[in-house]
Chain A
Amino acid sequence: MALVLDILSWAFIIGGGVFSLLSGIGVVRFPDVFTRMHAASLADTLGAGLIILGLLLQAGIGADLVGVKLILILVFLLFTSPVVTHALAQAALLDGERPWTRDGGPTEGTVDVRESEGDAFLVDARAPDGER
């Protein structure tokens, strides 16, 4: 039984390490902010998730509530990383970053910030004095 748990946690931890390394390679090599965000979220979910699951198999609930703390870390990561990614994508889009496409054209359903002058939310989110 202990051997099965060891093998499982090995697989989880090494899998998580490989996934986070892939995410790092993606962050370096992808062409624009949005694709890099996509690569970075891989480490937040699969990378950290698999590593912490593997450690959880090693620790059990354990003395000093190690397992409970691991579960809490996992839960906080899974709650906070989508919030950060969403806020970041919205900020980049409002700041005028255009998503990368193969032919350089606009993506489908693009909100053009510079042309929607009447939109109260978009106008508000940019610097009102035009200081940037």
Chain B
Amino acid sequence: MFTTASLFVLGTMALALLRAVRGPSVYDRIVAVNLFGTLTVVLLVLLGFLTDRPEFEDIALLYVLINFASTIAVLKFVKYSSLAGPRSDRSDAAGSEGKV
């Protein structure tokens, strides 16, 4: 059962990698890498059950959070060309967010 599911997940990871290599825009690549990270979490959990070692769940739990933070960080870097956020000294941006 766990082996079958792992094979499904591995196949999906290969497809995500294919999109990450081929993706025309950088956002395609970020989507693919995020999907790859999610599937890595699932694969880690399955691996914990396959090898009967519950420590893998801790690694998966950590990897969920790392995956989230890294995707947001890469996204910010692509969007603003820096990790610090938008370069601006304006203070009126907060009020106009509802328009988007």
**How many CB-defined contacts (below 8 Å) exist between A and B?**
175
Whether B57 lies near A66 (C-beta < 8 A) is yes
Chain B residues positioned under 8 Å from A48 (CB to CB): 38-39, 41-42
Majority SS at the chain B contact face: helix
A17 interface hit (Cβ, 8 Å)? yes
Chain B residues positioned under 8 Å from A72 (CB to CB): 61
Chain B residues positioned under 8 Å from A97 (CB to CB): 25, 27
Total contacting residues, chain A, CB less than 8 A: 61
Chain A residues positioned under 8 Å from B34 (CB to CB): 40, 84, 88
Chain B residues positioned under 8 Å from A55 (CB to CB): 45-46, 49
Whether A33 lies near B4 (C-beta < 8 A) is no
Instruction: Tell me the bound Cα distance from A125 to B99 in angstroms.
Output: 13
Whether B39 lies near A17 (C-beta < 8 A) is no
Instruction: Tell me the bound Cα distance from A105 to B29 in angstroms.
Output: 25
Whether B60 lies near A132 (C-beta < 8 A) is no
Majority SS at the chain A contact face: helix
Chain A residues positioned under 8 Å from B87 (CB to CB): 128
B45-68: CB near A (< 8 Å → 1, else 0) gives 110110000100110110011011
Of A73, A81, A119, which contacts B61 at CB under 8 A? Answer: A73
Chain B contact residues, CB within 8 Å of chain A? 1-2, 4-5, 7-9, 11-16, 18-19, 25, 27-28, 30-32, 34-35, 38-39, 41-42, 45-46, 48-49, 54, 57-58, 60-61, 64-65, 67-68, 71-72, 75, 78-81, 86-88, 90, 92-93, 96-97, 99-100
What 8 additional pairs, Cβ within 8 angstroms, besides A13-B5, A37-B31, A121-B96?
A: A13-B2, A20-B39, A27-B35, A33-B27, A51-B45, A76-B61, A77-B38, A81-B38
